[in-house]
Amino acid sequence: MTDDTLTSALKLLPHGPEFRFIDRLCSLEPGKSGTGEYTVRGDESFLRGHFPGEPLFPGVLLVEAAAQLAGVVAQCDPTVRPMAGLKLTALRNVKFFGTARPGETIAFETQIVGRLNNLVQAEATAFVAGALVMQLGLTLSGEPRGKIDDG
């Protein structure tokens, strides 16, 4: 995929820039899998309170970033129309093994493992410096739009 395609795919996120936790989409197999990154800058407002003097990227935002990446992958599926109102609706087997600090880059990977009508199931992982920091299963849901060939 070209850099323009990857940049355009990120625009599918409904979030404003201040709540986007994927800076770069590194690879994309539309409707199947993708990888992305977020670099913890250190000036994010939430780091001031999480935790003063020991800033850590919150686990809940690791989950959000994984959901955002899964949403991009799902919305790019060439066989299914993008869904309006796509949201995170369920989490399974969430495990945290670490976190990220300012200056570190979090690498996310996700795979779509199933689709049923307006539901998308995905599995995701996050790594910092090659070390696994999170793994989970998630479900996204939105308003069904039908298959592309349905017209």
CATH number at residue 17: 3.10.129.10
- CA 3 to CA 13: how far, in whole Å? 17
For the chain, how many structural domains are there in total?
Answer: 1
Give the DSSP H or E segment for 21: none
Q: Given this model, what pLDDT does residue 12 score?
A: 74
Alpha-carbon gap, residue 83 to 142, rounded angstroms:
5
Active centre residues (catalytic): 50
Give me the sign of the Cα torsion angle 120, 35, 87, 137: positive
Q: Closest by alpha carbon to 75, among 63, 87, 61?
A: 87
Token output for 142:
């939105």
Q: Tell me the per-residue pLDDT of 55-88, one tens digit each, with 9 for 90 and over.
A: 999 999 999 999 999 999 999 999 988 899 999 9
Low-confidence ranges of the chain (pLDDT < 70): 1, 5-6, 145-151
Residue 60: partners with Cβ closer than 8 Å, 6 or more residues away: none
pLDDT computed for residue 1 by the predictor: 62
**Domain limits for position 11:** 3-150
